[in-house]
């Protein structure tokens, strides 16, 4: 059975959003996680994962259990020195919300991607940070302590990407939900 490419808990997966496309034979890097790298490998991609060092052993064990080959690199997820410039077909992440220097990560993703290749990422929706415990009572102002939708959009644009898809899916299985579960973007690398 092929694992789903996940955009996060309660968020529609790649089967519904269809932002990554056919990855068979393509070089794909997951930044900050391992499960999606394994799912990309199951689809025939040459999968790589840049993860914190403490996640290496678990990632390798999961890949071995799945019978998949994934190239793991431990350390800062912005350290993509293992990939040559212009050699990657897709960079994917669900970890940008915990990255301190988003601009640095985006510059490195831009460096390793081929021209017109995609950067696809999902973060918990910035509006969700305004609520606590699922209550419909605002607990803080929009953007207080988190990046806003426009912060992500501008960071991506400033790193020489063109946003071609932006989605804000509602949480799965929560009829009447008022706040989107995630902010999901696909951006294409501009230039060389």
**Domains in the chain with CATH codes:** 14-189 (3.40.50.150)
- Please tell me whether the overall predicted TM-score, pTM, comes out greater than 0.85 for this model: yes
Instruction: Identify the pLDDT of residue 135.
Output: 66
Query: Which residue do the tokens 């605002």 mark?
Result: 138
> Which residues are bridge partners to 27 per DSSP?
46
pLDDT along the chain (192 residues), means of 10: 91 96 98 96 98 94 96 95 97 96 97 97 88 69 86 96 95 86 96 75
| 8 A C-beta contact, residue 107 and residue 119 | no
| 8 A C-beta contact, residue 191 and residue 115 | yes
> Which residues are bridge partners to 139 per DSSP?
none
What spatial distance separates the first Cα and last Cα of the chain, rounded to whole Å?
37
> How many C-alpha atoms does 7 have within 13 Å on its Cβ side?
30
């Amino acid at each position: 059975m092929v694992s789903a490419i996940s955009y996060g808990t309660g968020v529609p997966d790649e089967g519904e959003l269809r932002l990554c496309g056919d990855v068979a034979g393509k070089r794909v890097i997951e930044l900050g996680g391992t499960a999606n790298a394994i799912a990309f490998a199951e689809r025939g991609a040459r999968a790589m994962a840049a993860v914190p060092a403490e996640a290496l052993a678990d990632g390798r064990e999961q890949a071995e259990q799945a019978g998949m080959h994934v190239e793991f690199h431990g350390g800062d997820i912005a350290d993509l020195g293992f990939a040559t410039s212009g050699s990657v077909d897709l960079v994917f992440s669900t970890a940008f919300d915990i990255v301190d220097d988003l601009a640095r990560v985006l510059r490195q993703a831009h460096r390793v991607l081929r021209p017109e290749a995609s950067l696809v990422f999902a973060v918990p929706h910035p509006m969700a940070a305004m609520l606590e415990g699922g209550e419909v009572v605002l607990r803080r102002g929009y953007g207080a302590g988190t990046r806003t939708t426009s912060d992500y959009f501008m960071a991506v644009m400033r790193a020489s990407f063109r946003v071609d898809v932006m989605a804000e899916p509602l949480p799965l299985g929560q009829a009447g939900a008022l706040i989107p579960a995630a902010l999901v973007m696909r951006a294409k690398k501009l230039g060389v």
